[in-house]
Every structure is written in C-alpha cells, then in structure tokens.
Amino acid sequence: MSDTASPFSTTSPRDGSTLSPVRATEPSDLPAIVGAAHRAQELWAARPLEARFEALRAFKGRVLDRGTELATLISLETGKPEVEALLAEVLATADVVDAWCKHIGPWLEDEPVALDATSYPKKEAWIARVPRGVVAVIMPWNYPLALPLRTIVPSLLAGNAVVFKPSEVTPRVGAFIGECFQGLLPDGLFAVVQGGRDVGAALVADRIDLVAFTGSVAAGRKVAASCAERFVPCSLELGGKDAAIVRADADLDRAAAGIAWGAFTNAGQNCAAIERVYVHESVAAPFLEKLIATVKSLTARDDMGSLTTEAQLAVVQRHFDEAVQKGAEVLTGGSAEGLYFAPTVLRITDERCSAVEEETFGPLLPVMTVASDDEAIARANACRFGLTGSIWTRDEAAAERMASKLRTGVVTINNHSFTGAIPLLPWTGIGETGTGVTNSHHALDLLTRPRTILVDRNSAPRELWWMPYGTALAPIARALLTLKRPGSSIGEKLRAVLALLTHLPKRWRGLPLPKN
C-alpha cells in the first residue's frame, strides 16, 4: 500500500508492519546520474574481464553473507514466505554470478570471419562484441532480487554501466542491491534510482543505450514507443498466461504436485505461473482429486504468501467473480483474508472470461478438459501471450512433437517455469509476452552490439573495383555476372573466363600509379 504523498509501499503485506521510508530520485537528477554512468562505463569496459569477475564475485559474497537478512526484507516487501525468498532469489544470486563468470569469456571473444581470398585478397576480418554503453534496468516487484540480477550481472560483465530502477513496491530490496555493490565498482557505474512511473519514463527518455524492462503490456508499449523515437533498442518481458497440458498417460501424482507449485508459488505472482490447465477428459476426475488434495494441504503464509498489493488482490477477485458468474465450479479456495487469497481451483466451462483470457497474476487456477492432444495444443495456443508452457506425460516422444507446436518461448516436459533460474537457458516469449531475452549467450545479442573490424594487408596501389573505372572494368563485371548466374551454360562460362583472362591484365595496366 502507498500513501498519497509517496509512490512507495509503506506497509508490509506480510504482517502489516510499517516499512522504512524511501527517498525518491528527482527526475531532474537523472541526466547527471546517466552522464556519470557513461563516464564510468568507458573506464570499466577497458578493464580486463578478470577484474570484472572479481567485482561480481565479491558482490555475490556480500549477498550470501546477508542472505537471511535479505530474505526477510524480500518477505516483508512482497509477502512471500522467507524460505521461498531464499530458494528462488537469494540462492539464485550465486547461480547467476557463477554461471556468467564461467561462460561469458568465450561468448565475448572475437569471432573470425573467413573471407574469399580470390575476391578479397590479403584481407582479414573479425566481429567483436562491443558493450551497449549504459543500460537502464526497470524491474517489477514480484521477484525484486532475482529478476534484476538476471540482467544486471551479464550487463556489467559485458562492460556496460547500469542504472537500475526497482519497483516502487519493493524499493528497499533495490537499495539493498545498491549497497552490496558499493566500493566494488567505479563510481557511477551502477546507480539505483527510486520512484514511480515518472522516474521510469524520465530514465527511458534519457541518454540510455538499451532499456531492459519487465512489467505490464501497457507500460511495455510506452517504453517501446519512447525507445523507437530515438532508435534505442529495448528488451521487453510483459507477462504470460501459461498453460499446462495433462495427457491421458501422465503421472498424475507428479502432475498434480508440479502444477500446484507452478500455479501457486509466489501466490501466483509470476509471469510464468500456470494460469490454465488442459487435462485429457479420461483422467480429469483422478487428476482433479489429486490436485485438490495437494492444494488443500498448503498452509497459509508458510507454503503460500499473500498477494503483494491491494491492486493485485482486486484483479484476482474480479477474475474469480466473473468466472463464477459464468458458471465456473469452485473446487477449492475462493476466499480472501486481507491480502491473502486462498489458492483456488476452478472447473471452467465457459472460457470467455478474464480468468482464462487475461493474465491474473494470482492464485487462481482454471482447469478445462480436452478430448485430444491436438485440441489441447489449439486451445493452449489461443492466447495473445506466449511465455512458457508445460506438457505432463510419460511419452517423451509425443511430448517433444507437441512441444514443437506450442506457441511459446519455453516448453518444459513434466515440470514448469523453473528454467528462468537456469542462466544457460534463454528465457523469452512471443506475442504480447514481448521481445525480451534473458539468460544464455542469446542475451548478449541485446547487451552488446557487433562491430566488424577488417584489416587490409594488400599492397597493390588500387583495388579492382576502385575508380577510375576505365574501359576494362565493364567487361570484367559482365564476365563475373555470367560466372555467378546459375543459368549460365558451359559455353557462356568458358567465354566469361576468356574475357577475364583478356581484360584483367588491361585493367591492372590501366591503373594509374600512386603519386609521390
């Protein structure tokens, strides 16, 4: 919750306690902050990669040393259980730093390009990865540590500076990240700016070289439009409406347990939460029995925390009420106490409702039956989002065939969602999920840009194609066209070779000598 004078959360969703005050960054301060980042970035990019590793490993050590304190802070600001904060966020810091430090070196190496020695004699070329410069990282509140670090860590290791704006709902975790970087990086290289939408908009409009944004579709469109005006690249992850498909041959015990976790971890406040289940009609009854038993075994606030904001509670309540009005059967849950909304399973018959069509971002799980794999794929794909999806089955070959048809960026078989925590696997989507890519070497396509470097060791006074063209170049060009054209006959090619042998010496003799 927020008071009228400040954009920041002031009361903990976990226990109602008062949270410490936060000072907002004035939008007018941003040009100086971004300018300092540009100056620091040039020095940082010149440092050896091993020096960057050392700084990030020291950062990791600080986070882990204060891991319990940090998990408590995350829990206070988001409402999630502390053990969930430890597992999904604090420990993930070690994985993301270790993986990037281990693998980014080869990924940043120059890429040699083999040139045709006949067409380009005595020339050598390679492609270098160049840091973007200053990266604006604007992140949401649901995973206030893990999500930003997935971009911050590789951005810094690739030689960029970072200006980070955490959500106004979780500003204290953002400040904690800044504290852990203090003294490890050049002054100005990493900055935390605090505030609401006005600060975010001002940051995007400043002298930024890349914007990495995770948030709503509506906000993502505004970011994309602002970046497009200045031809600044942006990485957008804007949500999901993930589907789980339960085939007739699935291990129903594992499917029920895994889908319950996928739907209700972080109280469903996860862009990759399972928000739709399509179960084969032949196993729907036993699957639902096991799923309901699993959900009923969850303990409030220990296994599943509260929703983080009153606004999110309102969305969940609206989706629930509409589904019930359209005939949904409440199999378990459906009640709210404060910001805690009980994990809820609905049997849906009318899919034309927001609980099926819109991102809920809460502990609401619609379940629908299907008669075949093809029907399950078609209904799963009938969605404007496309982040992740899962298939639950004992038949891996069938699952792989189905996976190739799912309109998503990530597919898991007999599990869900967790691959976002694996730094070597790309996390991306299609449709209104956005254009962003985090994790793996593919993320470097955004965090760096390619630069071609060519060295010419040719000592000839002129290249074949340089001016003046003279009279010999035109027949040479026509002969080369004949040789390259697929439809040329053998006779035409032989005449072209003869023309080259005739005119190339004339071309070289006709070149003027360089003046002294």
Nearest to 480 by CA among 495, 458, 462: 495
Prior bond of 468 cis (ω within 30°):
yes
Q: From the candidates 237, 358, 359, 432, give the one annotated as an active-site residue.
A: 237
Residue 237 bears catalytic tag: yes
With residue 368 as reference, give the H or E element that holds it. Answer: strand 364-370
396 as an active site residue: the answer is no
Q: Which of 223, 344, 370 has its CA nearest to residue 273?
A: 344
SS3 call for 73: helix
Q: Is 51 exposed, middle or buried (0-12, 13-18, 19+ CB in 10 A)?
A: exposed
Give dist(CA 254, CA 162) in Å, integer. Answer: 41
Give bridge partners of residue 304 from the DSSP assignment: 300
Which residue among the candidates 180, 227, 271, 383 is catalytic per the annotation? 271
- Please name which of 81, 66, 71 lies closest in space to residue 13, comparing C-alpha atoms: 81
Alpha-carbon distance values, 176 to 29, 67, 149, 195 (Å):
21, 11, 12, 15
Residue partners of 332: CB distance under 8 A and separation at least 6: 292, 295, 296, 342, 343, 344, 345
* Residue 287, C-beta contacts closer than 8 angstroms, at least 6 positions apart: 246, 250, 252, 255, 256, 279
How far is Cα 82 from Cα 16, in angstroms, rounded to an integer?
16
Integer Cα distance of 478 and 18 in angstroms: 80
Give me 294's structure tokens: 């699993």
Which are the catalytic amino acids? 237, 271
